[in-house]
């Protein structure tokens, strides 16, 4: 009995065969591109998603034929906070709007504003959003609610033609089963659901009224472990799977990553170093820190909450640096070379500093206008200092986030499990341990944590295991302890980092 886990990431699509113990038995991946528009739009083509996924699964099963007949379930995860408008036949109406898109910011300002106001929100609306959902629409315009309101204003024809607005993961499930469905936690960033009763989450009439939207424009909601039905025979035949495979509702990428980190008990923290970054853990309560743009939202584990936050660029900073160094034809070992460059520089990068706000920031401050860069650059600096400064800048930003997360959690979080593609770097893991002054556990196969989490969720949904057993099985590859000398240096750099943000934010007002 195995789960076929599918991960529709922002920059890569992954597929894996996962055992009931969370072991990756076979996997494969393909990159995917983003479409940027001049007006702040960031899009992808859902048809390309599907063709890529089909090709990927066919190749995976061809390379691991012994796993094919053991697959009994499919569980999807995917980039959170995206929007796919589909017609009544389930066909996408144009490109998907992904989580980096900011075109809906003016629409959120209009929706959320009004007298009396606090932090740009009408006081009465804000109170209602916080009471019911645990948060509020972000003013950056990156939430699905902003995407939908932008479509209503800027592309009325597509808006009127839309039968449903779906998250990316739910679009995949529609293609797999023919059902428009979502899960409680997936719809949280639409800010349309009452999250107070964690096992009975549903759309709230007042929140729909605020946005001027109708309940029938959105899918029905179920727990993440619900079985939506059998895989459509046409898909099973095209992919080379047996008939009767069950499709589990699944959960978005942040939620699946929290599961795949192995930290399944309350306050067992992890840090993800992916395109973006976050520090999170499961918690037993609903709580909001409006000042730092952090809240606890429904988790991928039914009946639980998790701390939701995101720093916009982490691994994306390395991707950018790779392109700066090597252009469109980077060497296959580009990331290893960046690591090697960084090891040649001492801590502090010989005075070179990097701020990683390349597309603005979301937490612990929401500021879509802030921009990053190098500071103190001189003729004496080379690739070694530049690479080191980028790794350190992301780590210093993570320390800022950790302070906010621990304030919300009400306790010190230690150790912190490290996952995501950036976690392969032992050097970066040590920099993070020194900067955060926390023990860092580098999880085995850290880049596969999200797809592994989807597989683990699918196994629980099918009744093959439980969360306690899965936590015991989580493999740790290495542990990194803080060096007190280096921590003192990073303490000083952190205060400098925070001061630089204050200067930059004043300049960009």
What is the structure's pLDDT at 362?
Answer: 82
Picking from 401, 400, 391, the residue whose alpha carbon sits closest to that of residue 432 is 391
pTM: 0.91
Burial class (CB in 10 A: 0-12, 13-18, 19+), 340: middle
Alpha-carbon distance of 277 to 312, in angstroms, equals: 7
Alpha-carbon distance of 356 to 398, in angstroms, equals: 10
Residue 160 phi/psi, 5° resolution?
-70, -30
The rounded mean pLDDT for the chain is 96
- Equal fold, 2-250 vs 262-443+475-507: yes
Alpha-carbon distance of 204 to 185, in angstroms, equals: 15
Residue 256 phi/psi, 5° resolution?
-65, -35
Alpha-carbon distance of 101 to 108, in angstroms, equals: 13
What is the structure's pLDDT at 507?
Answer: 75
Task: Identify any residues that bridge with 14 across adjacent strands, giving them in sequence order.
Answer: 7, 29
pLDDT tens for residues 377-405? 999 999 999 999 999 999 999 999 999 99
**CATH code, 262-443+475-507:** 3.30.420.40
Alpha-carbon distance of 123 to 290, in angstroms, equals: 13
The kind and range of the H/E element at 121 are strand 121-122
Domain ranges of the chain: 2-250, 262-443+475-507
The torsion region of residue 134 among left (phi > 0), alpha (psi -120 to 50) and beta comes to left
pLDDT tens for residues 1-57? 999 999 999 989 999 999 999 999 999 999 999 999 999 999 999 999 999 999 999
Alpha-carbon distance of 358 to 152, in angstroms, equals: 29
What is the structure's pLDDT at 505?
Answer: 85
Alpha-carbon distance of 204 to 191, in angstroms, equals: 9
Residue 341 phi/psi, 5° resolution?
-60, -50
Contacts of 289-292 with C-beta under 8 Å, sequence gap 24+, read: 289/404, 289/407, 289/408, 290/119, 290/126, 290/130, 290/135, 290/136, 292/363, 292/364, 292/365, 292/404, 292/407, 292/408
CATH topology of domain 2-250: Nucleotidyltransferase; domain 5 (3.30.420)
The torsion region of residue 197 among left (phi > 0), alpha (psi -120 to 50) and beta comes to beta
Q: List the pLDDT tens digit at each of the 509 positions of the chain.
A: 999 999 999 989 999 999 999 999 999 999 999 999 999 999 999 999 999 999 999 999 999 898 999 999 999 999 999 999 999 999 999 999 999 899 999 999 999 999 999 888 999 999 999 999 999 998 889 999 999 999 999 999 999 999 999 999 999 999 999 999 999 999 999 999 999 999 999 999 999 999 999 999 999 999 999 999 999 999 999 999 999 999 999 999 999 999 999 999 999 999 999 888 999 999 999 999 988 989 999 999 999 999 989 898 999 999 999 999 999 999 999 999 999 999 999 999 999 999 999 988 988 998 888 999 999 999 999 999 999 999 999 999 999 999 999 999 999 999 999 999 999 999 999 999 999 999 999 999 999 999 999 999 999 999 999 999 999 888 999 999 999 999 999 999 999 999 999 998 887 66
Quote the tokens at residue 135: 């948060």
What is the structure's pLDDT at 509?
Answer: 63
Alpha-carbon distance of 390 to 386, in angstroms, equals: 6
Quote the tokens at residue 136: 């509020």
Token match 């290893």: residue?
336
């Amino acid at each position: 009995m195995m789960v076929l886990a599918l991960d529709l990431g922002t920059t890569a699509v992954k597929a894996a065969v996962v055992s009931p113990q969370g072991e990756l038995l076979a996997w494969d991946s393909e990159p995917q591109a983003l479409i940027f528009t001049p007006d702040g739009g960031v899009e992808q083509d859902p048809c390309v998603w599907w063709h890529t996924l089909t090709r990927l699964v066919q190749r995976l099963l061809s390379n691991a034929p012994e796993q094919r007949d053991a697959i009994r379930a499919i569980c999807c995860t995917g980039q959170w906070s995206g929007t796919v408008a589909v017609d009544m036949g389930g066909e996408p109406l144009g490109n998907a709007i992904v989580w980096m898109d900011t075109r809906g910011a003016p629409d959120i300002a209009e929706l959320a504003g009004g007298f009396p106001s606090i932090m740009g929100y009408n006081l009465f609306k804000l109170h209602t959003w916080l009471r019911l959902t645990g948060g509020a629409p972000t003013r950056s315009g990156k939430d699905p609610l902003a995407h939908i309101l932008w479509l209503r204003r800027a592309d009325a024809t597509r808006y009127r033609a839309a039968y449903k607005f779906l998250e990316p993961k739910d679009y995949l499930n529609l293609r797999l089963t023919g059902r428009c469905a979502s899960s409680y936690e997936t719809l949280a960033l639409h800010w349309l659901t009452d999250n107070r009763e964690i096992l009975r989450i549903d759309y709230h009439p007042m929140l729909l009224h605020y946005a001027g939207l109708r309940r029938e424009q959105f899918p029905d909601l179920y727990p993440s472990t619900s079985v939506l039905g059998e895989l459509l025979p046409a898909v099973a035949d095209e992919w080379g799977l047996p008939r009767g495979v069950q499709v589990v509702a699944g959960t978005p990428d942040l939620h699946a990553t929290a599961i795949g980190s192995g930290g399944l008990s309350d306050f067992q923290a992890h840090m993800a170093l992916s395109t973006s970054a976050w520090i999170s853990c499961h918690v037993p309560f609903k709580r909001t820190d409006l000042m730092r743009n952090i809240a606890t939202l429904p988790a991928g584990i039914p009946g639980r909450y998790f701390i939701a936050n995101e720093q916009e660029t982490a691994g994306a900073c390395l991707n950018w640096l790779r392109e700066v160094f090597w252009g469109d034809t980077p060497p296959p070992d580009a990331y290893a070379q960046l690591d090697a460059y960084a090891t040649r520089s001492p801590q502090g990068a010989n005075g070179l500093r990097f701020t990683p706000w390349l597309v603005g920031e979301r937490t612990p401050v929401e500021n879509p206008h802030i921009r990053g860069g190098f500071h103190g650059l001189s003729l004496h600096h080379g690739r070694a200092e530049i690479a080191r400064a980028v790794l350190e800048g992301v780590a210093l930003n993570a320390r800022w986030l950790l302070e906010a997360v621990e304030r919300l959690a009400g306790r010190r979080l230690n150790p912190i499990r490290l996952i995501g593609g950036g976690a392969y770097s032992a050097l970066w893991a040590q920099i993070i341990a020194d900067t955060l002054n926390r023990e860092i556990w580098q999880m085995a196969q850290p880049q596969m944590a999200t797809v592994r989490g989807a597989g683990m969720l699918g196994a629980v949904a099918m009744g093959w295991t439980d969360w306690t057993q899965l936590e015991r099985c989580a493999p740790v590859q290495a542990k990194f302890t803080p060096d007190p000398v280096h921590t003192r240096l990073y303490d000083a750099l952190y205060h400098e980092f925070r001061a630089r943000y204050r200067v930059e934010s004043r300049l960009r007002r």
